[in-house]
Structure 1
Amino acid sequence: MTQSMTALTIRLDDELFAVEASRVREILDLVPITEVPGAAAFVGGLINVRGRVVPLADLRVIFGMNRPEPDEDTRIVVMEVDMDGEPTIAGILADKVHDVTNIEAASIEEAPKVGMRWRPEFIKGIGKRNGDFIIIPNMEQIFQIPDGRSPSAAASEERSAS
């Protein structure tokens, strides 16, 4: 990743994340979530966005984070993600939405392969702004999970199969 990006910054647990602002369609207050029995924990619900059924993903599940109860800062970021090459609208939960900012190309580095607490293929890069690290998730990779299982379950099954 070598180009700068205009990003929406969000907080998940105690980490700052950045998603491409051009993919964000809208930001919603928390709306009723319809649980889907048997669905992966990571996409465990559906929401209604202007009459359209939209899957709701919780990136905190992917990254093995705490999942505090929603509060007055909790938002749903409705965005376009590529799933199997098709643009798809999905919602992601955010503990807090911060701002839209420009992350300079010079401040974006590849995620280190060692020492990360998350699978490196789920991280597109790590940016820096005002001395803080901003994690840039690889949304395409995150949403390419085989069979809709959570990435951690898929990873542990791959490990146990080998």
Structure 2
Amino acid sequence: MKFVVYRLADTQYATPVEQIESIERLLPIRPVPGSENFELGVANLRGTVISVQDLRKKLGVEAAEPDQEARLLIAQGIGYLVDAALDVIDVDDSQWERVAGGRVWNRGDTLVLEYSLV
């Protein structure tokens, strides 16, 4: 199965590629008053308005300002801000280990956590 691998702080995550519609550079974001703390606002993606969420805040990872490597993972009309998109890679089901209600892939010297965006 193919996964998109991305980074938040020092941790790598993997989401099944079929959940990701596209990977985009950061877009201008307009805040929406009264939204959740992880909701950054809305953005115009090729003529379509999308909601943008900070995946760091949503997962309880310490906040940081996006830099030039930051990307938006687009899934079901929502843009998820990540620190960097690293790879699209095939990972066999047998390579995943069940841990604490989730799955972890030991990728060399890096542990990659599976995370579903939908």
Q: Report the TM-score when normalising by structure 2.
A: 0.89
TM-aligned CA deviation for residue 110 of structure 1: 2.3
Measure, in 2, the Cα distance between the counterparts of 1:131 and 1:104: 18
Q: State the shift of 1:57 in Å.
A: 1.4
Q: Which consecutive residues of structure 2, in runs of 5 or more, have no partner in the other structure? A: none
Q: For the Cα contact (< 8 Å) 1:103–1:128, is it kept in 2? A: no
* Cα displacement string for residues 52-100 of structure 1 (whole angstroms, at most 9, x for unaligned residues): 1111111211221122111111111112xxxxxxxx3211111011010
Deviation at 1:138, TM superposition (A): 3.1
Residue in 2 that maps onto 1:139: 117
**Greater relative contact order, per chain length (Cα 8 Å cut-off, separation 6+):** 2
Q: Which runs of 4+ in 1 moved over 2 A?
A: none
Q: Structure 1 residue 111: deviation in Å?
A: 2.9
Query: Which of the pair is proportionally richer in strand?
Result: 2
2:59 matches 1:59: no
Larger-gyration structure (1/2): 1
Task: Give the 3-state SS of the residue equivalent to 1:37 in structure 2.
Answer: coil
Q: Counterpart of 2:57 in 1: which secondary structure?
A: helix
More helix by share: 1
Instruction: Supply the AA of the counterpart residue of 1:134.
Output: V
> 1:61-100 maps to which residues of 2 (within 5 A)?
61-79=57-75, 88-100=76-88
Equivalent pairs, count: 118
Q: Which runs of 5+ in 1 are unaligned?
A: 80-87, 113-119, 141-162
